[in-house]
Structure formats: C-alpha cells, structure tokens
Structure 1
C-alpha cells in the first residue's frame, strides 16, 4: 500500500509503507508528518497510522552478541612452543636446499676469439702485405687455444671458434704468400726484359771510347 506524505501543507510524494519506515529510521521523515491513502477520512500522523510511536531506531537493530566467557589458563595447560634454535645435525651434513641450482655456462677461450678476429682481418689485408703477419698471428693463437681447450677436459668452450679462426688465418696467409710470389715474379720478369733490350756492338766497330777525342787533340782538319 502506498501513502501520500505531507509536511507543512506540502506534499512530499507517494511512498510505500516500507519506504516510510526506512525514511523514519534514516531521518527522511518525521513522526509528525501526515499521511493519507484511499479509504482514510483525512490526513493523519505517520506514528498513528503505522503504529510506530513506540518504535525507535535502536529497536530495529539486532541484539548485541553475548559477552565472551573469560577463563584463565594455567601454565601447565599451555602448549610448549618449539625452540627458536634449529636442531643440530647428527650426521654433520648440511641440510639440502630445495632451490633449483642455476646452470653456469662454460667460459669461452679468449685466444680462440682472438684467432677468429685475426683470421677475419687477414682476408681483406692480403694485398697490402699485412695479411701475412696477421694470418700468422691468427694461426698461433688458434693452435694455442685448441691445445688449451683439449687440456681443460671440457671446462673451457670455444673449440669451434678456434677451428674457424685457424681456417681463416691459413687462407689469409696463403693468399698473402701467393700475392707476394706474384709480385716478386713480376719484378724478376721486368728486370730480365730490361737487360735483353741492350744492343750488342759488332766486332771491329769503333766504340764510344775510340771515337772520343783525347785531351789536347785538335779535332779540326
């Protein structure tokens, strides 16, 4: 059922009984507010119509919980706590940890890396004589690195890098030697060509020394 609510000769609106009771609880309506609905002779106070003059907001609250029972504990009834100090290990072995162990990678040989770098550098420098020395240095580093890796029993990595450095260093060295041999051969051929172009003077022909007048000789007839 809905009621018309009014206050001070002004209507506040139309509300249900539950809404009016809730409004009385939160202060929206007053007990002296007037209500009217169909079937009533006139406006009457809310408290008279809804019979809530004896109700109060506190009565709508649930009853408080019962008080807690107090009791005393004797020292004998209390549970003994475990000692804070960890127990000693009878076997003398340290406790094992459940944490996973991290896999540490093997170190790579520095000489193997140096051999690879020298081998790569020796290729573009083969035509300026530097490739020969760089290639030889790469070969030395590669062989030393390979021997150290074999003696490490798997603790040092870089076998493939050392092998690649050796191959490139050997290639650079061979190309440098081939280039030096070609240049030397070209120089020898050019020198031999110059010597073969000299004109041989037949026997009986006057030489330059014979045609040159001596000092004090009159060359005029």
Structure 2
C-alpha cells in the first residue's frame, strides 16, 4: 500500500521557471536555459526509471522556451526584411 515517494527533478523545475522568465524578464537568455535544462531533465527522468517525476514540467519549459526562440527569430527576420525592403525601395526609386 505504501507507494515509494518520487522526487521531482530539480532540472525540470528550473526549466519551467526559466521558461516563464523567458516570457517576462529574460526574453532570450531565459528561453535558452529553459530549453537546455528541459532536455537535461527529460533525460535524467528517463534514466531514473520511475524514481523521478516532473516530465510535464520539463515539457512545459521546453515548449515555452522554443516558442520564445521561434518568435524571436521570426521578429528578427521581419525587421531585416522590413529595413531591407526600405533600402531597396530607396535605391530603386530614390534617384
């Protein structure tokens, strides 16, 4: 009847916390930490063979981290395309 007490992976908690920080205070750096710690946590949980939990926390940190990184890349591409278009427009029609 007594089930063994499973501990939560500290890397999974770190991944979740930095995933949240990636959306608020540390936009890019927090997301990188969330992704790295999330992958490390999932590997740690798999190796522990049932004695660790927190896979959902790690996945949530991974999702938040990857979303911020993806949105940052899209925003950077949009800025380059916008200013590149302005330069092209000025070069073609500016004279």
Matched residue pairs, number?
94
- Mapped partners of 2:30, 2:46: distance in 1: 25
Counterpart of 2:5 in structure 1 is: 105
1:170 aligns with 2:75: no
- Offset at 1:166? 0.9
What is the aligned counterpart of 2:20 among 96, 106, 120?
A: 120
Name the SS of the counterpart of 1:131 in structure 2: coil
1:153 aligns with 2:53: no
Counterpart of 1:91 in structure 2 is: none
> Over the residues paired in the alignment, what is the CA RMSD in angstroms?
2.0
TM-score (normalizing by structure 2):
0.83
Query: Whose helix fraction is larger, Structure 1's or Structure 2's?
Result: 2
Counterpart of 2:78 in structure 1 is: 182
| Runs of at least 5 residues in structure 1 that lack an aligned partner in the other structure | 1-101, 200-221
Q: 1:157-176, CA deviations, whole angstroms, 9 ceiling, x for partnerless residues?
A: 21111111111111111111
The structure with more radius of gyration: 1
Higher relative contact order (CA 8 A, sep 6+): 2
TM-score (normalizing by structure 1):
0.39
Name the SS of the counterpart of 2:27 in structure 1: helix
